Structure 1
Amino acid sequence: MRRRLVGWGAILALAAVYFCAGKFGLSLASLNASASAVWPPSGIALAAVLLGGYRLWPGILLGAFLVNITTQGSVITTGGVAVGNTLEAVSAAWLVHRFAGGLKAFERARNIFKFVLLAAMLSPMLSATFGVTSLCLGHFARWHQYSAIWLTWWLGDMVSDLTIAPLLLVCLARPFIQSTPKRIPEEAGLLLTVALVGSLVFFNPFAAQNYPLEYLAILPLLWAA
């Protein structure tokens, strides 16, 4: 019973996060109220399914339905959009597990390539096709705009899968490295260097001389590596 409650809690939490992220994305929509080139929920949903399993799919379906029904559309068209979003996340996760090493996808170059191709480029086609077709059939978008809206939809999902999903997976799939007394001086020095370089780059005291101080950012990156 407790395990079931925890599972439903995770589903509802995912739906809430999806809804909030979706509202933010659609606030930047221009071509159509339901299509945005900035769509964080796609990457969030992919990372959630990869980390938590396919059992979380109802959270994606619920979140996608709520974010779209409160924007525009009927129950039927919104259902089509939600199904497409859910299929995208589930299919992307399955493809990553099957062909790209699952949670270890970013440990090898060839798996990274497969992740980009399968999860970020191929799977979003499902969501874009389901979504735009549903909108056009429900007269919430015009057929002559189909390709433009489809491309916007696909780009938003693709960019999210390429940026947000990898970030969440890298941060959450592995336990954080615990600091040790020997590492504290090095970590403090690295943070201080980042702060100093950031101050020099953004508050350039040598602006008149036009020095390319932005290249100093390479130093802490090399140190951290």
Structure 2
Amino acid sequence: MVGTPDLRRTAVFAIETLAVALCYYAAGRLGLMRELVVGGAVFTPIWPPTGVALACLLILGIRAWAGIALGSLLVIMSLTSLRPAAIGNLAGNTAAPVCAYLMLRRVGFRTDLARLRDGLALVFLGALTAMLISSTVGVGLLLLTDKIDAHSFWAVWLAWWVGDAMGVLIVTPVLLVLHTLRRPLHLSRWKEATGLALITCAVVPLAIHSHVSLLFLIYPLLIWAALRFQLGGSMLCALFASVLATIAATDRTGPFVHLTRVEVMIKLQAFNGTMALTALLLSAVIAEQRNTRRSVEQACQELAEVLEHLTAGDTPPGRPTKDDDP
């Protein structure tokens, strides 16, 4: 019986590791469905495994690194044989989200993203800074193995870095929102939510597949979703628009027609990046303001109760009287 707790912990760790690895691998296969070519290298505009990896670390803790490494190994082995360069990519893909997690924990990051500082931390530390590791290691290995030319280094590096960062900005918030959901769901504005979903499903495909530049029509929907449904609504809207925009960019349709490969990458990543930043930071600001307002209202209510008791000559609840003093 002494070894039962240890055996149980080992079993839980093995199950969590396998679950994280499968989620990482599934996200990788989804990301590989849409690819762009820049500088002679193939890359994915949005790399969902980075978002999945960071979300797993934030939810499960540092022990999730083993599942991330295993999932990255499965993705790499599905594309190529296990060579020294592949081992380097495995290390970079594992180290980037782990460093992101450690930096976010260092600054007191909260997974509910209810503060502006949490949104800024996820953007600048989790996405833009930590993903420098995976992009630098990956593209550096491509250069060392003569897979790309030296003059293509920065173009490929930028594409890799932005793709990894987009995975964090778009996928991680959605997974964190799903993790915090509790049943039963009490959606008081379900009619408005249904209307927003229907309008989004109609406007977003129109804006993305139109040859006229109508991408700006998506931003009012993001603002509406953030104002009324905060992070969950805005990030789901951003995820839907990003997926459709990526499909249009890889198919060279809509506003991406007649553009060069580099121009397609720049336009797509600028759109995805500004949209994710708008949804994430606006939702964080709104949530922070609402929490502040609730705190002020609660303090005012407590003050009103104290004044009411003092006016009536009673002792406010929770306060000692003179007779109670030692």
TM-score normalised per structure 1:
0.78
**Matched residue, 1:89:** 97
Residues of 2 paired with 1:18 and 1:199: CA distance?
28
Task: State the alpha-carbon separation in 2 of the partners of residues 123 and 43 from structure 1.
Answer: 12
Question: How far off its partner does 1:129 sit?
Answer: 0.8
Opposite residue 51 of structure 2, the aligned amino acid is: G
Deviations 1:79-121 (A, max 9, x none): 10111011111000111111142424x2211232122111110
Name which of 76, 85, 93 aligns with 2:84. 76
- Give the equivalent residue in structure 2 for 1:24: 30
Q: In 2, distance between residues paired with 1:137 and 1:200?
A: 47
The answer as to 2:12 corresponding to 1:6 is yes
Say yes or no: does 1:125 pair with 2:127. Answer: no
Residues 23-48 of structure 1: per-residue CA shift (max 9 Å, x gap): 23234142356632220001110001
After superposition, residues 60-71 of structure 1 pair within 5 angstroms as 60-71=68-79
Match of 1:150 among 157, 179, 182: 157
Q: Structure 2 CA distance, aligned partners of 1:134 and 1:52?
A: 31
Could you tell me which runs of 5 or more consecutive residues in structure 2 were left unpaired when the two chains were aligned: 1-6, 207-216, 231-326
Which aligned pairs between 1:69-218 and structure 2 lie closer than 5 A?
A: 69-72=77-80, 74-104=82-112, 106-172=113-179, 174-176=180-182, 178-179=184-185, 186-191=188-193, 193-194=195-196, 197=199
**Structure 2 equivalent of residue 208 of structure 1:** none
> What amino acid maps onto 2:31 in structure 1?
G
Identify if the C-alpha distance between structure 1 residues 35 and 73 changes in structure 2 by more than 3 Å, giving closer, same or farther. farther
Question: Can you list the C-alpha shifts for 1:164-199, whole angstroms capped at 9, x where unaligned?
Answer: 111111221x2426346xx6xx44533554466568
| Alpha-carbon distance in 1 for matches of 2:134, 2:173 | 19
Unaligned runs of 5+ in 1: 205-212
What is the DSSP-based 3-state SS (H/G/I as helix, E as strand, rest coil) of the residue aligned with 1:30? strand
Q: How many angstroms apart in 2 are the aligned matches of 1:135 and 1:114?
A: 30
SS of residue matched to 1:115: helix
Equivalent residue for 1:54, pick from 44, 62, 69: 62
Which deviations, in whole Å up to 9, do the C-alpha atoms of 1:139-173 show, x marking residues without a partner?
Answer: 3333332211111110001111111111111221x
Match of 1:43 in 2: 51
Structure 1 pair 67–200 and aligned structure 2 pair: CA distance change class (3 A): closer
- In 1, are the aligned partners of 2:41 and 2:156 still within 8 Å (CA)? no
Seq. identity, %: 32
- The 3-state SS of whatever aligns with 1:103 is coil
Report if the CA contact (8 A) 1:97-1:103 is conserved: no
Contact 1:81 / 1:131 at 8 angstroms: preserved in 2? yes
SS of alignment partner, residue 67 of structure 2: helix
Is 1:190–1:224's contact at 8 Å kept on the other side of the alignment? no
Distance 2:152 2:102 in 1: 31
- Comparing 140-149 with 65-74, greater Cα deviation is found at 65-74
Please state whether the residue corresponding to 2:43 is helix, strand or coil.
coil
Q: CA deviation at 1:200?
A: 7.9
Matching residue's letter, 1:40: P
- The CA distance in 2 between the partners of 1:194 and 1:44, in whole Å, is 27
The one-letter code of the counterpart of 2:73 is F
Task: Write the distance in 2 (CA, Å) between the matches of 1:112 and 1:220.
Answer: 17
TM-score (norm 2): 0.56
